[in-house]
Amino acid sequence: MKRFIGILLTITMLALVAFLGSAFSQGQSELANQQKIVARLRNDKDEDKNKDAHPGEASNRARPGSNGISYHGGPLMLGTNHMYYIWYGNWSGNTATTILEDFARSIGGSPYFNINTTYYNGSNVHVSNSVSFGGSTNDSYSHGTSLSDSAIQAVVTSALTSGHLPYDTSGIYFVLTSADVTASSGFCTQYCGWHTYGSINGFNIKYSFVGNPDRCPSGCEAQTTGPNGNAGADGMASIIAHELEEAVTDPNLNAWYDTRGRENADKCAWTFGSTSTAGNGSLYNMTLGARNYLIQQNWVNAAGGFCAKSY
């Protein structure tokens, strides 16, 4: 009997070691921060949604300013930043792949992204108005149609360890999911997207989840017809902009945010300023490259602070 118990314990320990070894071998991925900064739903009035999402020690380093947002000592993404897309699910025949890649190629150097140059680090080095599109890859449901937060990081990890996308500490990796995919921590019920960071093979990787708002138009789309004829893609463009500017100015969740935990884009969520009407009757408020978009405003960290479409 004792021998049987000993053998059973040995088998159990070997199985546990094998499981842990397998888990850590999958790209040496570690959730460096269990928190994420979410982009709230269109009709969600909870302005304190991200209040507890920042590390506690950062609050002790706050340097209150006069523009309604404070610096907490953490790093910013300086120099040229790169956007990477991971098209998760089924995007076959969907014009979103063209619309959103055009967006990524056009936002850098724009008057809109220039708002982020009002943010700076502890050495007074400002964010640059320089963003490029680094490329994309596809993932055909490697983790099914309901993604946990850890599964979303695993999708990013796989794109890197497979060599489909490069390891880039100046990059922001966007996991863009088709309308048949959800995120189990609250897509469409708690948020429209989010950003955070993780340690993957020793690299500090910034990444974001943005779901297709066609899954919940009333929660995550500003309008049911978009200026590019694809309401889901047009809605995603604004959420991607939201997550991009927050990742650049608060990549490790310990740089720029206000006393309520709101980052720059949070402070202007679902506000669009003056708009024009496209030929299909939809609204747009800016032209980037050859396309019109309806993109939320961002917080200008100057002149007392205000929401704007350009700076």
Which pLDDT score is estimated for 57? Answer: 67
Rg (CA), the chain: 20
Amino acid 190 reads Q
Q: At what angle do helices 96-106 and 231-249 cross, to 10 degrees?
A: 30
pLDDT band at 93 (very low <50, low <70, confident <90, very high): very high
The answer, yes or no, to whether residue 30 has pLDDT greater than 70, is no
Q: Hey, CA dihedral for 64, 70, 74, 75, is it positive or negative?
A: negative
The dihedral region occupied by 135, where left means phi > 0, alpha psi between -120 and 50, and beta the remainder, is: left
The answer, yes or no, to whether residue 212 has pLDDT greater than 70, is yes
pLDDT mean over 90-105: 98
Q: How many CB atoms lie within 10 A of CB 254?
A: 20
The answer, yes or no, to whether residue 3 has pLDDT greater than 70, is no
Q: Is CATH 3.40.390 what the domain over 65-305 is classified as, yes or no?
A: yes
The residues near 199 (Cβ < 8 Å, ≥ 6 apart) are 29, 30, 32, 205
DSSP string of 46-108, one letter each residue: -TTTTTTSS-HHHHTT-B--SSS-EE-S-----S-EEEEEEEES--TT-THHHHHHHHHHHST
Compute the distance between CA of residue 263 and CA of residue 230 in angstroms, rounded to an integer: 28
* 83 bridge partner residues: 133, 172
Mean per-residue pLDDT over the chain, rounded: 90
- What would the two tokens of residue 31 be? 């959730």
Q: pLDDT digits over 137-190, tens only?
A: 999 999 999 999 999 999 999 999 999 999 999 999 999 999 999 999 999 999
Ranges of each domain in the chain: 65-305
pLDDT mean over 239-254: 98
